[in-house]
């Protein structure tokens, strides 16, 4: 099934991105901010677009209605959502269980090097500890993938729709 193939493949790409972000970029997240979120939308956009395109070109002989294209995108989105939640759980529980403390430590170290006041450092560390808690990350991942995937599905379905024209005699 096209949706499963693209959902799992895109999930795998996002998981690799998550590992790169969590290990290389997040420790310096106060410098990267929204850049991370924007780049994370590229993988679902590519997966949803090509999933709909394959459904149109291979399964429907080059034609697809908007609702069928959108449904394909939504199914890919739901597969992505489930897989990303599982990946996030596995990362926080098994791969890097001390992740939140690590990010807080790295943030504190960077802010101390910037010679900021202790109050600002403590506030920023508290924000980081909250923002990167497991439950907050799960909720954030769910919302980002569901909302982003729905918007991407709408746009891709509109771009890729191609309906048969009736021939009248």
- List the chain domain ranges: 2-160
The mean per-residue pLDDT over the stretch 104-110 comes to: 86
Instruction: Please check the confidence at residue 168 and state whether its pLDDT lies above 70.
Output: no
Taking residues 66-70, what's their average pLDDT? Answer: 95
pLDDT-based confidence at residue 82 (cuts at 50, 70, 90): very high
Most confident of 16-25, 35-44, 144-153: 144-153
pTM: 0.81
Q: Which of 144, 160, 159, 157 shows the shortest CA–CA distance to 42?
A: 144
pLDDT band at 91 (very low <50, low <70, confident <90, very high): confident
pLDDT at 38 over 80: no
pLDDT of res. 29: 54
Whether residue 145 is predicted with pLDDT greater than 80 in this model: the reply is yes
Q: Is the distance from CB of 63 to CB of 71 less than 8 angstroms?
A: no
Nearest to 123 by CA among 101, 138, 108, 106: 108
């Amino acid at each position: 099934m096209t949706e499963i193939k693209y959902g799992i493949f895109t999930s795998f790409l996002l998981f690799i991105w998550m590992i790169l972000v969590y290990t290389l970029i997040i420790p310096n997240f106060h410098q990267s901010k929204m850049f991370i979120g924007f780049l994370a939308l590229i993988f679902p956009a590519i997966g949803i677009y090509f999933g709909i395109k394959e459904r149109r070109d291979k399964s429907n002989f080059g034609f697809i209605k908007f609702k069928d294209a959108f449904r394909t995108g939504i199914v890919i989105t739901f597969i992505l959502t489930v897989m990303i939640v599982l990946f996030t759980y596995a990362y926080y529980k098994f791969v890097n269980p001390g992740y939140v403390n690590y990010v807080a430590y790295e943030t504190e170290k960077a802010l101390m090097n910037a010679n900021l006041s202790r109050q600002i450092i403590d506030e920023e560390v508290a924000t980081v500890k909250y923002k990167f808690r497991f439950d907050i990350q799960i909720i954030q991942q769910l919302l980002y993938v569901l909302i982003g995937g729905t918007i991407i599905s709408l746009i891709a379905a509109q771009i890729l729709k191609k309906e048969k024209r009736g021939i009248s005699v």
